[in-house]
Chain A
Amino acid sequence: MKTVTRTFCGLFALCLAAPVVAETVVNIAYLRQEIDRPPVLSNLDAVPEDEGIAGAFVGLEDNITTGKFLGQIFMLDIRSVPVGGDLVAAANEILASTDIILIDAPSADMTQIADLEAAKDTLFFNVSNYDNALRDEGCRANLLHTLPSYAMRSDALMQLLQSRRWTDLVMVSGTHEPDIAFANALRRSATKFGLRIRDEKEWVFDANMRRAASAEVPLFTQDFPNHDVMLVADETGDFARYLLFNTWEPVLLAGSEGAQPVAWSPVMEQWGGVQLQNRFEEYAGRSMRSVDYAAFAAIRAIGEAVTRTGSDDASVLRDYILSPEFELGAFKGRPLSFRDWDGQMRQPIPVVHAHAVIAVPPMDGFLHPVNELDTLGIDKPESRCSAFTE
């Protein structure tokens, strides 16, 4: 019950007198492979050009402010490679000047870059890719993840639905690669938490649903068996918005529409979230998205590790970030840390709708012997990632 430790002014209790002379310069790069996005039925919510990058800059400003009291300087170099451009050449170029890189790229590109000879001692942060495989059988020891996985998001949603006792589900999923990956994660999570997906349909229509939704969706959903909630896996934002209020039964939607498990949303205002949103909006002129949050958290994790270790060495920072001593306060109400078996940042996953936070899983009652945050995503005993133990 009663614990106390005593420490004395040492490395971490910095007893500095101002002004401070800069000693540590931390060079960080942001490497992005631009992609062609599939066409969607409505462009109401286009992906901003600076998604992720804006979050990185807001994190950088926070690091710079902190660093000025400690003689630490942070720099950020942005490399965005156009579709069809030479990502490897760009990577090799930035690897010559930095060994800490935020990476925003499809899975195959991400692992290809992490496997480059010149990247052996580089610390990468995946800020854009939810792919479970990157944290599982396809993990890399030099690749950490601040964006949650599909499995973390689907587990969060299923915990919410289970605690509401809405356990009879049906699912509509799209045919793009991310839709399939998210649908797979939802199936896995339903099994994990004892919910039942009673039927599934694939969305294959190519009509212009802005006119036809009201006519087609009722028929499309008419023969589903009884259900409490309709899951929708539509990660590119193509059709899900037209399901809402057009279903045969008056039904709740969850997944890519309705109740959405996300890394971040503009509706997050607890735990100082308003302050972060204000800083972000002032900088970017728009609201903060999940990928922005992941990039922000990566930069802040680097900053926190530099502040606490006084080092700019990527391997020292990696060891500290993966250690039990590391904790990051990042506006989610709990200290965030990294799983030392797959490099994933532990974090609560808010389930939100357009106007409010519904809940912030892990939900009460979902227990874990070590850390309740590990009830979300692929836990240590089931992980197929071995790169971190080799």
Chain B
Amino acid sequence: MKKILIPALLAASPTMSGEIWVTNEHDDTVSVIDTETYEVTRTIEVGERPRGITFSKDYSVVYICASDSDTVQVVDPNTGEILHDLPSGEDPEQFALHPDNRHLYIANEDDAIATVVDVETRKVIAQIDVGIEPEGMAISPDGTIAITTSETTNMAHWINTETHELFANTLVDSRPRHAEFTHDGSQLWVSSEIGGTVTVFNVADQSEIAKVRFEITGVHPDNIQPVGFEFTEDGETVFVTLGPSNHVATINAKTFEVEDYILVGRRVWHMAFNDNNTELYTTNGVSGDVTVIDVASRTPIRTIKVGRFPWGAAFRPTE
């Protein structure tokens, strides 16, 4: 195993440079990690309780949910300067940027609402009633469907992005946290933190295709709590963070079988890949650090200290 891996690592290491941006929920800062040196190069002060983070499609700005400031902040990634705030509704937690690079779909956790904001005019163009404590947000690759998951109602709400109306509500296990479409848009995956499962839906008819469960030797099932997940570029593998079990699982996206469990820091939340998908950065809430996973060998290779309670993560290329 190792004989094959080491050359692979060496070949992969001189990659294009880039940065991983990590929101520190209890420090009101963003830590910027250089993916070449694994060093925190900048710590940027933002609004209160920053959680969701995403870059515009051209990486010209970065959007940050400052939950307790009740706003989405727009930051210049080169200078770290806060350019302006967007109206976001109360307590924005997560969001997703529409493929049109213009409409931001925001989950308002305290208000049971999803807010759609036009980032150019900086105006709210729709607010949609959803379940209690909406959190996860996803938009289909073709931009026609937005999903929000509600933590207490335990549903994925399917929103038509043309009409901004719900056209389906599908039940999942307790406390859904995150949703993602597959790259081809044919499936929707939803993680349930307390239920301990990931549910896969067929997008065409919103039917359930599979439910993935996890099992780690020596960890009580109640502590295996799936939250964030990411698809590899080839769409064949899904990496899932498992919260207080301190592990990341890999799922075969074709067979829905769990293949590996990777030990990371404590209470792992979300993740971001580097530029060429060779490394995955996980935010570890309790231990206040980021674990770097080598994607090919599925092993943790580094730990980087960031701020208190790192939560969201996003990548941007710097060349």
Contact = CB atoms under 8 A, between A and B. Distances in A.
B110 A275 contact: yes
A335 B131 contact: no
B66 interface: no
Contacts of A278: 110
B222 A8 contact: no
Interface string A46-83: 00000000000000001001100110000000000000
B174 A69 contact: no
Interface string A271-287: 01001001100000000
Interface in B207-238: 207-215, 217, 220, 222-223
Contacts of B155: 66, 69
B195 A7 contact: no
Given A4-B257, A278-B110, A13 B208 contact: yes
B302 to A, nearest CB: 26
B167 A17 contact: yes
Contacts of A333: 244
Given A4-B257, A6-B211, A272 B173 contact: no
Contact of A4 (B174, B207, B213): B213
Interface string A234-278: 000000000000000000000000000000000000001001001
Contacts of B167: 17-18
Interface stretch (B54-62, B146-154, B271-279): B146-154
B258 A65 contact: no
B175 interface: yes
Contact of B205 (A6, A7, A15, A328): A15
A18 B169 contact: yes
B206 interface: yes
Interface string A117-154: 00000000000000000000000000000000000000
B112 A65 contact: yes
A13 B190 CA distance: 13
B213 A13 contact: no
Nearest to A12: B171
B98 interface: no
B109 A275 contact: yes
Contact of A14 (B109, B171, B220, B257): B171
A13 B209 CA distance: 10
Contacts of B125: none
A16 B205 CA distance: 10
Nearest to A275: B133
Contacts of B171: 12-14, 307-308
Interface hub of A16, A304, A373 (most chain B Cβ within 10 A): A16
B206 A62 contact: no
A5 interface: yes
B262 interface: no
A6 B110 contact: no
A3 B167 CA distance: 32
Given A5-B213, A8-B208, A9-B208, A279 B110 contact: yes
Given A69-B157, A334-B222, A2 B151 contact: no
B213 A3 contact: yes
B194 A334 contact: yes
A6 B210 CA distance: 4
B132 interface: yes
A176 B25 CA distance: 46
B256 interface: yes
Contact of A1 (B132, B195, B217): B217
B162 to A, nearest CB: 15
Given A66-B152, A327-B174, A372-B222, A5 B211 contact: yes
B168 A16 contact: yes
Contact of A65 (B153, B175, B210): B153
B27 interface: no
B166 interface: yes
A329 interface: yes
B110 A8 contact: no
Nearest to B208: A13
Contact of A69 (B110, B153, B165, B215): B153
B131 to A, nearest CB: 6
B319 interface: no
B67 to A, nearest CB: 10
A3 to B, nearest CB: 5
A65 to B, nearest CB: 5
Contacts of B169: 14, 16, 18, 69-70
Contacts of A66: 131-132, 150, 152-155
A14 B195 contact: no
Interface of B: 109-110, 112, 131-133, 150-155, 157, 165-171, 173-175, 193-196, 205-215, 217, 220, 222-223, 244, 255-259, 261
| 5 cross-chain pairs, A with B, having the tightest CB-CB distances, nearest first | A9-B207, A329-B174, A329-B194, A69-B169, A329-B175
6 contacts: A5-B210, A9-B208, A18-B167, A300-B152, A327-B194, A372-B220
Given A15-B170, A373-B222, 13 more contacts: A1-B215, A3-B215, A4-B213, A5-B211, A7-B211, A8-B207, A8-B209, A13-B208, A18-B169, A66-B152, A335-B195, A335-B222, A371-B222
